Structure 1
Amino acid sequence: MTGDNDERDPVSEFDSKRRVRSDRLLSVLEPYGRVVAVSHVNPDPDSLASMLGIRELIQKCQPGKPVIMTVDGIIARAENRAMVDLIPIPLVPVKSVAIDRETAVVMVDTQPHTGRRSSESATPHAVIDHHETGGDLGGVLYHDIRTHMGASSTIVTGYLLEQKVVISPQLATALLYGIESETTGYPREACSLDDGALVWLFPRADKELLARIRNPKLPQSHFATFQRALANAFLYRDLIFTWCGEVSQPDIVAEIADFFSRFDQVNWVLSVGLYEGGLKISLRANELGRQAGEILRDVVDGLGNAGGHDKRAGGLVALADASPQTVDQTLTELRRRLLAELEVDEHQGRRLLNDFSRIPAP
């Protein structure tokens, strides 16, 4: 098996030792007539940019080879939809793509059998990821897993540098936003290679395009979800536990968690929303070393799947039914388990905000 899981990368530049990684990837893909790029369900900017970068790498280094970029689930968040529409990024539903002997599968920003894909029927030939949630790499011909990096887009940017690929402003914008979206917040989950990639990409990116992606228009449902989350937020010592209700798209649960993590009295936030009959969960921690991914996996053990990083984690709990009773029972169990993990007394809890008055309609 060809692969790398060495965290002893130099901190200043992509040196000659690391330069061979893209050669290894390309040699694995060489015998195949086409490539299919896949990622996790409801792909985010990092996964979208990584697939786009892999396509450019293959098209420049193995001319004429078709590369199909796929989507598993939906493009949910407004910024992500803007990115797909404006770059643009052509995506094909993953369920519609047949994998045969002439097809190589490249998986980015996730790993096999981590609960982050709707199907694991095809073993990928190559896996490129930065997440700490380890997957089953059996049968994978090439893997490049670097958990100290903030984004998979940084790894792909390195491949393009290694092969001296001249990139377009659109691709530079996508990769820049992919890294930026993963490394914002404080403290940052990033290394010097992420910063180096950002410095290299910024002058090559389309700033107008970047601004449009960062600032999309939002539907009314977005603000309604924030209203529900504020009304159903509870404070337990330094933890906010909030219920978003039924949501129109799953990524807003993570947006709610990010929103509450800025509250100056908390170190932890867990937000939960009902989406397509299951509970979408996002956990945030305000300090490095908190092992949010490990904690959330323990919380949903036996109920669903979860994974993530030190500060950020996500998960999904499948429900036997979406009745109010089942939802309430599952929420109670999730809250009980999380409070136990964090050693917080549930009797310390109180509603975050009191009922607020309403003014007459203007």
Structure 2
Amino acid sequence: MADVNELQSLLGASEELTIVCHNNPDPDCLASALALGRLAASAGIDERRILYSGDITHQQNRAFVNLLDVELKSFDQGLIVDRPEGSLLAFVDHSIPGANNAVPEGTAVDIVIDHHQAEDVTGRYVDHREDVGATATILTEYVRDTGHDIDATLATALLFAIRRETLGFLRGVTTAEYEAAGFLHAHADDALLNKLSTPSISGATVDAIADAIDNRSVNGSVLITHVGRTSERDALPQAADYLATLEGVQTAIVFGIVEDTIQMSGRSTDARINIGTVLDSAFSDVGSAGGHREMAGGEIPLGIFADYTTDEDQLVTIVEQVVRARLLAELKLDGKGDTEDA
């Protein structure tokens, strides 16, 4: 475990901090960025920014940003490549340049705080703990152990992030999450937590989840489905969460076309399957994918698929066939799924 005093020393000796979120940031990433920014402010860093790429489309994520007034800026590569001396670059909730982020591969990162599976994580300060359930848990420990003043906004952000990342303390949770939640509970705004937990849902998200239900096929305890083309990227993990609860299903993988990429989301409670490893092995040669044993995601550029045909239905069919075939091969399934009794 890294020593938070080393982080404080690094922040105290610097003048500027750029925190980069992973693509399409979720509450765990956003809350962690918010907390690191607060720690940097207390260390005397006045120039701070949080950058993100992709979209924030999940209704909970939008509510999180709006209700907690998280100040975000669109990713600007110039702020990364042309950093002045005394400027720090930090990753929270991800760790490798070019993997699920817009930072050029090979870029030197100063601070990395993450809980996802990854290899060869480097930085001047690295706290990479795959054995905790959320990056927000690590940042909560920093806030608590350094005696940093915590207000209702920060406490609510971190507590909501831990709850969301662990699906209400039901997935990937450890003792550390309960201890963090116990500390945060006394400072959090209960009314704000309720608002974050019950945001409105768009009709497009409902339609995408319905398509995932209609297109599902089941091989043993593995369910694979797609939503076709959608503007609602975050409908995929919501569909995966829901379909993973179906009777007899232990692994659910949902994919779909979002703009010029194929997005994927996987969930698994099968002890024999590490869904992060499955997606990475199946698609690392054509895109980026990975995550945890129980939850993972991935992104593949449409590439040759988009050049092959201008017919949207044909494009969806081709993508469905290729992605499904790769998943079945990686999972060593025969592909004779049951689409009627799933």
Task: With the length of structure 1 as denominator, give the TM-score of the two structures.
Answer: 0.86
Pairing 1:236-275 to 2, within 5 Å after superposition: 236-275=219-258
Pairing 1:181-192 to 2, within 5 Å after superposition: 181-184=164-167, 188-192=171-175
For residues 49-70 of structure 1, give each alpha carbon's deviation from its aligned partner in whole angstroms, at most 9, with x where no partner exists. 001111111222x135322122
Q: Could you tell me whether the CA contact under 8 Å between 2:19 and 2:33 is conserved in 1?
A: yes
Equivalent-residue separation in structure 2 for 1:216 and 1:264 (angstroms)? 27
Alignment match, 2:59: 78
Alignment match, 1:132: 117
Greater RCO (CA < 8 Å, at least 6 residues apart)? 1
Q: Could you tell me whether the CA contact under 8 Å between 1:133 and 1:293 is conserved in 2?
A: no
The 1:314–1:350 alpha-carbon spacing in structure 2 relative to 1, beyond 3 Å, is: same
Equivalent-residue separation in structure 2 for 1:340 and 1:94 (angstroms)? 36
For residues 222-246 of structure 1, give each alpha carbon's deviation from its aligned partner in whole angstroms, at most 9, with x where no partner exists. 1111221122111222111111111
Measure how far apart 1:350 and its partner are.
Answer: 2.1
SS of 2:186's equivalent in the other structure is helix
Equivalent-residue separation in structure 2 for 1:224 and 1:156 (angstroms)? 36
Alignment match, 1:293: 276
Whichever residue aligns with residue 33 of structure 1, its letter is: E
Equivalent-residue separation in structure 2 for 1:265 and 1:289 (angstroms)? 15
Structure 1 unmatched runs, 5+? 5-17, 355-362
Alignment match, 2:338: 350
Equivalent-residue separation in structure 2 for 1:218 and 1:186 (angstroms)? 23
Equivalent-residue separation in structure 1 for 2:315 and 2:207 (angstroms)? 23
Out of 52, 59, 67, the position equivalent to 2:34 is 52
Identity of aligned residues (%): 28
Out of 15, 18, 25, the position equivalent to 1:36 is 18
Figure out how many residues of one structure are paired with residues of the other and give that number: 332
Equivalent-residue separation in structure 2 for 1:296 and 1:278 (angstroms)? 15
Alignment match, 1:113: 97
Superposed CA RMSD: 2.0
Equivalent-residue separation in structure 1 for 2:57 and 2:249 (angstroms)? 27
For residues 90-142 of structure 1, give each alpha carbon's deviation from its aligned partner in whole angstroms, at most 9, with x where no partner exists. 111121762322311111000123620123264221100000133542xx211
Equivalent-residue separation in structure 1 for 2:181 and 2:170 (angstroms)? 17
Alignment match, 1:102: 86
Q: Could you tell me whether the CA contact under 8 Å between 2:7 and 2:125 is conserved in 1?
A: yes
Equivalent-residue separation in structure 2 for 1:148 and 1:54 (angstroms)? 20
Equivalent-residue separation in structure 1 for 2:157 and 2:140 (angstroms)? 11
Alignment match, 2:49: 68
Whichever residue aligns with residue 27 of structure 1, its letter is: S
Equivalent-residue separation in structure 1 for 2:147 and 2:165 (angstroms)? 25
Whichever residue aligns with residue 270 of structure 2, its letter is: E
Alignment match, 2:328: 339
Residue 26 (1) aligns with residue 8 (2): yes
Residue 88 (1) aligns with residue 69 (2): yes
Equivalent-residue separation in structure 1 for 2:142 and 2:110 (angstroms)? 17
Equivalent-residue separation in structure 2 for 1:90 and 1:330 (angstroms)? 37
The 1:201–1:232 alpha-carbon spacing in structure 2 relative to 1, beyond 3 Å, is: same
Equivalent-residue separation in structure 2 for 1:330 and 1:303 (angstroms)? 13
Alignment match, 2:183: 200
Equivalent-residue separation in structure 1 for 2:221 and 2:168 (angstroms)? 18
Q: Could you tell me whether the CA contact under 8 Å between 1:77 and 1:252 is conserved in 2?
A: yes
Task: With the length of structure 2 as denominator, give the TM-score of the two structures.
Answer: 0.91
Whichever residue aligns with residue 111 of structure 1, its letter is: S
Equivalent-residue separation in structure 2 for 1:135 and 1:352 (angstroms)? 44
Equivalent-residue separation in structure 1 for 2:46 and 2:245 (angstroms)? 46
Query: Does 151-160 or 321-330 show the bigger shift?
Result: 321-330
The 1:26–1:302 alpha-carbon spacing in structure 2 relative to 1, beyond 3 Å, is: same
Whichever residue aligns with residue 156 of structure 1, its letter is: L
Off by >6 Å, runs of 4+ in structure 1: none
Equivalent-residue separation in structure 2 for 1:288 and 1:37 (angstroms)? 35
Structure 2 unmatched runs, 5+? none
SS of 1:70's equivalent in the other structure is strand
Whichever residue aligns with residue 336 of structure 1, its letter is: A
For residues 302-350 of structure 1, give each alpha carbon's deviation from its aligned partner in whole angstroms, at most 9, with x where no partner exists. 2211010011110011112434444433322322222233232222x12
SS of 1:26's equivalent in the other structure is helix
